[in-house]
């Protein structure tokens, strides 16, 4: 039996734990006899859970098909059929245990990485955040003017979840109801399941009410109903007329024609574009932009260099301080050692996200504790000067991180074999010599993998940087919101979700991909070092 | 946020060297060379200082460095002036008005934030522990095609923080909102799902190692007695690996409580937000005015985490040492 063979060789390797040879594809009981190895309760739980998942899936597939998204619908259906198969068929034990975790992993760790790769090749962002149909509807909506002789409609605003709709009494007296997505339809009374907004609610949801924009008919060029007070509504029509056949917008006042420029925008001959655009694949433009545009090329280079410097220096100073304190407190008869050790690692127990915020206050130039009290009223710009800010970031990260290194080094120091140190003493080595030539090399062997892991962690240490400086002070030679202490991951976050306009998900994804490549290189190097893969059995 | 580092710590807890000594910090003195029972009486101060005295000096310096920011925020939180300027004289007042405002000011729904944070972190850690334990059980106790590949993939994936894919996560959540609004953008359920995506990659490997240390003789015996796989897993394996379950649970909890970036993108409604986002926004732009309230909030947010951390250290070490086979 092949699996038995493998089992024994595996036993002989590293785990030391024997593995029963017949647990694998071959389950506990012969397949086909029972639906579950547990009792009735387990069966019931299993069937109920599967039923819930299946019911939700049917609903989801139905919604997706209604939206016309067949591909996702088919994928979702196939995946859930697979899940049912795994749990209802006897056997396939590993599948039963791994599927839930792997499902989340597949979607929110693996798929999103691939998806990031795709977004990097699109123009996704604030200005291009949806499909072309949505963009056309949006353009028509935002370019609307009130029709001068529009009749006055009496309306009531209704709300369901976060949707708003208008119940309209037409001048003739007929009632009709519609929402932003749903053109007016005649009804007999108030719509089922919707709540009427009273005056105070209208005031509370003012922005949402102002955004209510109900198409009068299926043809959006006919115009829409809008209300400013929740009581009276008027017809608005767009000053831009969309010609479906030619796929162009024409400004009804000036006659200017806007055509699809293939890059996700309607563009006129003079170069002006209509907003919003829509999401299209634009190829390598984001990468080309990052490497060639003056606004971003140099800052990106500086940020990359700083990211490496920050990660390396942070790891180094944390390790140095941690090791030093570990050595100092590693004395067999030092009194109060226990208390010292607990107090020294307190910063490590303090939540990382608060550390940056607290230190930002401590280092405040005018009122901060450090300048006012420790330095007697100095005005040192700890967080405003580029180099001082970089120093501060590393310093604060040291405060936060040395405790971890202290723990690790103390452990490693105490596990050093006594006989080698004894041997060194017998050969006449002094304390320093023993430390330098015996303890330190042994220690490095023990902590090297952790140093690499810490480097990799600091490489993407969003929390400390963003909470302490938000990447500031800003570079002066670019209009983008990038600063002297930004590392690559904070830059990605700010480009994608930062305040101010021009949030660019495509560019942010392209930058993410660059980080992926760098992290991959670090990972390959570290795996070569640690030989972790060889230990897998 | 501190997944990686936390994991490192847990790894070193799990490595035997660490365990022997540092893990059991409480039992520190007993493990090292026993102290000479009768100290040399005529030891001069100079010799004492060269041997040990300087270590006390360094230790005290380190403690001041480590503790003063913590004392500072405690002092500010108790100071009714509550501005950055007025906070520099430590422990001048004892007044709980900052704490009162945290729970009474309608513009600062601190209790809501706290509840949200707890809910998200507890659900995420419990489910993470369960998913990881199931994964580790499969990898440790079963042999199947793709097992080695699966372990390797997990090892590689844990190098890539989820944060790197934040743009894709955001767009994916928008699309999920269109189909299942209940687990889409702006919901706790959606955020928890995202966190669970990172669960397996980070923790399974650690747990796998621990499962391997439990002798298979135990579950083989149960199997011979007629227990099914589910019974072996829930009633025999899980109780034997409780220490690592607690370690992973606590580390996940601490990591999720402090997670800012993903939560800030997913949760947009102030009432849905977590302590991390709330406190960040409280002082962004208003650092000086809200400093006292912020510090009060920080003290309340940090205390349970720090207590957890310090207490669990002993527990973790003790649990790991005691082992499973008597």
Does B47 contact A at CB distance below 8 Å? no
Do A187 and A105 fall within a single domain?
no
Q: Across the interface, which of B145, B197, B287 has its CB nearest the CB of A105?
A: B197
All residues of chain A having their beta carbon less than 8 Å from the beta carbon of residue B299 are none
Angle, vertex CA A418, rays to CA A413 and CA A419, nearest 5: 145
Mutate to test the interface with B, among A98, A360, A451, A494 (most CBs of B within 10 A): A98
Residue among B166, B287, B306 minimizing CB distance to A350:
B306
C-alpha distance from residue A92 to each of A21, A267, A450 (Å): 15, 57, 36
Residue A13: inside a domain: no
Residue A349: which of B21, B164, B306 has the nearest Cβ? B306
Higher-scoring residue by pLDDT: B300, A255: B300
Question: Using the beta-carbon criterion (under 8 Å), do B17 and A412 form an inter-chain contact?
Answer: yes
Coil, strand, or helix at residue A129? coil
Q: What is chain A's alpha carbon radius of gyration, rounded to the nearest angstrom?
A: 32
pLDDT of residue B102: 87
Residues of A whose CB is below 8 A from B306:
346, 349-350
A493 within domain boundaries: yes
**What per-residue confidence (pLDDT) applies to A150?**
78
In chain B, where are the structural domains located?
104-322
Whether residue A104 and residue B62 make contact (CB cut-off 8 A), yes or no, is no
**What residues of chain B lie within 8 A of the CB of A63, using their CB?**
178-179
Cβ contact, residue pair A7, B85, below 8 Å: no
- Residue A158's φ and ψ, nearest 5 degrees, are -120, 155
pLDDT tens digits, A86-105: 888 887 888 888 888 888 88
Contact A93 B229 (CB under 8 A): yes
Locate A426 and state its tokens. 């017998």
Element (H, E) at A71: helix A70-88
**C-alpha separations of A8 from A537, B151, B222 in Å:** 11, 19, 21
pLDDT at B38 over 70: no
Q: Which of A107, A112, A334 shows the shortest C-beta gap to B52? A: A334
Long-range own/partner contacts, residues A249-258 (CB < 8 A, 24 or more apart): A249/A139, A249/A274
Is some CB atom of chain A closer than 8 A to the CB atom of B221? Answer: no
Q: Do A367 and B288 touch (CB under 8 A)?
A: yes
pLDDT (0 to 100) of residue B42: 57
Q: Do A17 and B216 touch (CB under 8 A)?
A: yes
Q: How far apart are CA B264 and CA B273, in angstroms?
A: 8
Q: Which is nearest to B113 in space by CA: B238, B322, B300?
A: B300
Using a CB–CB cutoff of 8 Å, tell me whether B123 touches chain A: no
Of B156, B159, B229, the CB nearest to A28: B229
Mapped onto helix, strand or coil, the DSSP state of residue A267 is: strand
User: Cβ atoms within 10 A of the Cβ of B207, count?
Assistant: 26
- Token code pair at residue B53: 């005295």
Residue B318 has pLDDT above 80, yes or no: no
Do the Cβ atoms of B279 and A354 come within 8 Å?
yes
B62: closest CA among A388, A339, A451?
A: A339
DSSP state of A145: E
Rounded Cα–Cα distance for residues A83 and A100 (Å): 9
Which of chain B's residues have a Cβ under 8 Å away from the Cβ of A337? 28-29
- Which of A38-42, A346-350, A519-523, A530-534 is predicted with the least confidence, judged by mean pLDDT? A530-534
How many structural domains does chain A have?
A: 3
- Tokens representing residue B256 in the block: 């999720």
CB contact under 8 A, B166 and A403: no
Task: Write out pLDDT tens, residues A192-237.
Answer: 878 888 777 777 777 788 888 888 887 777 788 888 777 888 888 8
Which chain B residues touch A350 with a CB distance below 8 Å? 70, 302, 305-306
Residue A82 belongs to some domain of the structure: yes
Considering the domain architecture, whether residues A303 and A391 belong to the same structural domain is answered as yes
User: Are A438 and A451 within 8 A, CB to CB?
Assistant: no
Rounded CA separation A515/A535 (Å): 28
Interface membership of B138 toward A (CB under 8 Å): yes
Q: Is A484 helix (H, G, I), strand (E, B) or coil?
A: coil
Domain CATH code at residue A369:
1.10.3720.10
**Neighbour-count burial of B254, counting CB atoms closer than 10 A to its CB (0-12 exposed, 13-18 middle, 19+ buried):** buried
Q: Which of A88-92, B60-64, B131-135, B322-326 has the lowest mean pLDDT?
A: B322-326
Is the residue at A247 inside a domain? no
What is the arithmetic mean of pLDDT over A145-162?
A: 81
Measured CA to CA, the distance from residue B150 to residue B154 in angstroms comes to 6
Q: Rounded to a whole number, what is the distance in Å from the CA of A71 to chain B's nearest CA?
A: 14
Whether A230 and A300 map to the same domain: the answer is: no
**Taking the model in full, what pTM does it have?**
0.78
Among A42, A354, A360, A532, pick the best mutation site for testing chain B contact (most B Cβ within 10 A): A354
d(CA B143, CA A87): 18
Q: What are the angstrom distances between the C-alpha of A289 and each of A275, A422, A510, A514, B257?
A: 21, 62, 10, 13, 37
Kindly state whether residues A84 and A200 are assigned to the same domain: no
Range of the domain at A48: 21-119
Q: Are residues A530 and A400 in the same domain?
A: yes
* pLDDT tens, position by position, B169-226: 998 998 888 888 888 888 999 999 999 988 887 788 778 888 888 888 888 888 888 8
Among chain B residues, CA nearest to A451: B8
Convert the pLDDT of each residue in A389-430 to its tens digit: 999 999 999 999 898 888 888 888 887 888 888 888 888 888
**Residue among A132, A497, A356, A476 nearest B166 (CA):** A497
The pLDDT score that the predictor gives to residue B61 is 92
* Mean pLDDT value across residues B254-259: 87
Residue A501 to chain B, least CA–CA distance (Å): 16
**So what's the architecture of B104-322 in CATH?**
Orthogonal Bundle (1.10)
* Chain B hits for A42, Cβ within 8 Å: 230
Is there a contact between A324 and A404 (Cβ–Cβ < 8 Å)?
no
Q: How many CB pairs under 8 A join A and B?
A: 382
Distance, CA of B142 to CA of A22 (rounded, Å): 9
- pLDDT of A436 higher than 90: no
Say if residue A250 is preceded by a cis peptide, omega within 30 of 0: no
Give me the phi and psi of A48, to 5 degrees please.
Answer: -65, -45
Does the distance separating the beta carbons of B265 and A349 come in below 8 Å? no
Query: Does residue A284 lie within any of the structural domains?
Result: no
- Smallest CA-to-CA distance from A36 within A107, A115, A120, A93 is with A93
CB-CB under 8 Å, B228 with A343: no
pLDDT per position as a tens digit, B237-256: 898 888 888 888 888 888 89
Contact with chain A for residue B21, Cβ under 8 A: yes
pLDDT in tens, A226-260: 887 778 888 888 778 788 788 888 887 777 888 88
Same domain for A376 and A310:
yes
**For position A221, which CATH number holds?**
2.40.430.10
In a domain, A423, yes or no: yes
Distance of alpha carbon B202 from alpha carbon B134, whole angstroms: 14
Q: Which residue of B has its CA nearest to A466?
A: B261
- The last residue of one of the domains, among A222, A238, A254, is A238
DSSP string, A350-406: S-HHHHHHHHHHHT-TTT-HIIIIITSS----TTTSHHHHHHHHHHHHHHHHHHHHH
From residue B302, how far is each of A350, A468, B74, B114, B291 by CA, in Å? 6, 17, 11, 11, 16
Could you tell me which residues are beta bridge partners of residue A236? A146, A224
- A108 shares its domain with A158: no
Whole-number average pLDDT of chain A? 81
Residues 6+ apart with CB under 8 A from B91: B75, B78
Q: Are residue A374 and residue A509 in the same domain, yes or no?
A: yes
Residue B306 C-alpha, separation from nearest chain A C-alpha, in angstroms: 5
Residue B324 pLDDT: 32
Report the gap between the CA of A345 and the closest CA in chain B (Å): 8
What are the angstrom distances between the C-alpha of A451 and each of A23, A324, A391, A400, A519? 38, 16, 21, 16, 15
Both A456 and A343 in a single domain?
A: yes
Q: Which residue of B has its CA nearest to A43?
A: B230
Cα–Cα distance measured from residue A112 to residue A103, given in angstroms and rounded to the nearest whole number: 13
How many CB atoms sit inside 10 A of residue A302's CB? 18
| Residue that is last in its domain, among A193, A220, A238 | A238
Q: Is residue A61 part of a domain?
A: yes
- The answer to whether A336 contacts B56, with C-beta atoms less than 8 Å apart, is yes
Nearest by CB to B62, from A344, A361, A522: name it: A344
Confirm or reject contact between B12 and chain A (CB < 8 A): yes
Indicate whether A129 belongs to any domain.
no
Cross-chain residue pair B212–A110, CB shorter than 8 Å: no
Q: In 10 A of CB B26, how many CB atoms?
A: 13
3 state DSSP class of A248: strand
């Amino acid at each position: 039996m092949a699996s038995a063979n493998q089992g024994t060789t595996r036993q002989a390797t590293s785990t030391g734990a024997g593995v029963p040879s017949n647990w694998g594809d071959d389950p506990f009981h012969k397949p086909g006899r029972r639906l579950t190895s547990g009792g009735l309760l387990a069966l019931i739980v299993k069937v109920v859970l599967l039923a819930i998942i299946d019911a939700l899936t049917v609903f989801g597939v139905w919604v997706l098909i209604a939206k016309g998204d067949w591909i996702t619908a088919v994928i979702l259906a196939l995946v859930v059929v697979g899940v049912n198969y795994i749990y209802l068929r006897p056997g396939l034990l590993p599948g039963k245990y791994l599927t839930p975790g792997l499902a989340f992993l597949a979607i929110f760790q693996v798929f999103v990485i691939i998806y990031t790769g795709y977004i990097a090749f699109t123009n996704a962002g604030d200005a291009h955040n949806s499909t072309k149909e949505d963009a056309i509807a949006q353009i028509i909506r935002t370019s609307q003017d009130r029709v001068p002789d529009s009749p006055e409609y009496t309306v009531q605003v209704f709300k369901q979840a976060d949707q708003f709709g208008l119940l309209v009494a037409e001048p003739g007296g007929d009632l009709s109801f519609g929402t932003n997505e749903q053109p007016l339809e005649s009804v007999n009374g108030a719509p089922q399941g919707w709540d009427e907004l009273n005056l105070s609610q209208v005031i509370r949801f003012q922005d949402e009410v102002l955004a209510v924009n109900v198409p009068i008919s299926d043809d959006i060029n006919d115009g829409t109903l809008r209300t400013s007070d929740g009581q009276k509504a008027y017809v608005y029509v767009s000053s831009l007329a969309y010609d479906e056949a030619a796929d162009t917008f024409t400004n009804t006042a000036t006659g200017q024609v806007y055509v699809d420029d293939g890059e996700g925008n309607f563009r006129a001959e003079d170069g002006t574009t209509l907003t919003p655009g829509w999401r299209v694949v634009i190829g390598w433009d984001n990468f080309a932009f990052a490497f060639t545009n003056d606004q971003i090329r140099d800052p990106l280079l500086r940020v990359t260099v700083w990211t490496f410097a920050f990660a390396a220096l942070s790891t180094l100073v944390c390790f140095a301080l941690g090791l030093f304190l570990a050595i100092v407190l590693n004395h067999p008869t030092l009194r109060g050692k226990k208390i010292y050790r607990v107090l020294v690692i307190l910063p490590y127990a303090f939540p990382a996200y608060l550390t940056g915020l607290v230190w930002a206050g401590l280092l405040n130039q005018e009122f901060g504790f450090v300048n006012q009290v420790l330095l007697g009223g100095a005005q040192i710009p700890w967080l405003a000067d580029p180099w001082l800010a970089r120093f501060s970031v590393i310093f604060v990260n040291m405060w936060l991180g040395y405790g971890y290194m202290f723990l690790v080094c103390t452990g490693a120091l105490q596990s050093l074999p006594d006989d080698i140190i004894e041997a060194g003493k017998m050969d006449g080595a002094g304390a320093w010599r023993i430390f330098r030539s015996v303890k330190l090399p042994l220690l490095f062997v023990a902590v090297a993998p952790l140093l690499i892991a810490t480097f990799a962690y600091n490489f993407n240490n969003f929390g400390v940087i963003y909470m302490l400086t938000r990447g500031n002070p800003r570079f002066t030679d670019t209009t983008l919101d990038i600063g002297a202490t930004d590392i690559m991951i904070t830059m990605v976050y700010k480009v994608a979700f930062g305040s101010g306009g021009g949030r660019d998900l495509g560019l942010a994804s392209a930058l993410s991909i660059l980080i992926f490549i760098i992290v991959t290189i670090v990972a390959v190097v570290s795996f070569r070092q640690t030989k972790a893969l060889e230990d897998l059995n | 946020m501190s997944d990686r580092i936390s994991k490192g710590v847990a790894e070193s807890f799990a490595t035997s060297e660490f365990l022997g000594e540092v893990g059991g910090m409480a039992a520190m003195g007993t493990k090292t060379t026993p102290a000479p029972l009768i100290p040399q009486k005529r030891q001069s101060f100079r010799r004492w200082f060269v041997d040990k005295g300087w270590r006390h000096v360094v230790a005290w310096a380190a403690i001041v460095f480590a503790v003063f920011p913590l004392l500072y925020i405690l002092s500010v939180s108790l100071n009714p002036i509550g501005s950055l300027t007025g906070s520099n004289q430590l422990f001048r007042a004892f007044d709980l008005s900052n704490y009162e405002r945290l729970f009474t000011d309608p513009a600062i729904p601190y209790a809501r934030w706290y509840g949200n944070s707890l809910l998200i972190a507890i659900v995420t850690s419990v489910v993470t522990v369960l998913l990881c334990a199931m994964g580790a059980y499969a990898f440790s106790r079963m042999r199947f095609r793709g097992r080695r590949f699966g372990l390797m993939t997990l090892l590689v994936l844990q190098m890539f923080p989820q944060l790197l894919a934040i743009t894709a996560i955001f767009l994916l959540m928008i699309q999920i909102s269109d189909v299942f609004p209940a687990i889409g953008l702006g919901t706790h359920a959606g955020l928890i799902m995202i966190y669970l995506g990172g669960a397996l990659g980070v923790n399974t490997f650690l747990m796998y190692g621990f499962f391997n240390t439990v002798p298979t003789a135990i579950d083989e015996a149960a199997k011979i007695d007629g227990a099914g796989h589910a019974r072996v897993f829930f009633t025999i394996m899980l109780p034997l690996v409780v220490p690592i379950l607690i370690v992973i649970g606590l580390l996940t909890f601490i990591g999720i409580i402090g997670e800012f970036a993903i939560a800030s993108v997913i949760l947009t409604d102030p009432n849905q937000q977590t302590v991390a986002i709330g406190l960040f926004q409280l002082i962004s732009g208003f650092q000086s005015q809200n400093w006292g309230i912020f510090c009060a909030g920080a003290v309340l947010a940090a205390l349970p985490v720090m207590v957890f951390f310090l207490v669990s250290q002993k527990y973790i070490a003790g649990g790991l040492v005691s082992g499973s086979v008597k």
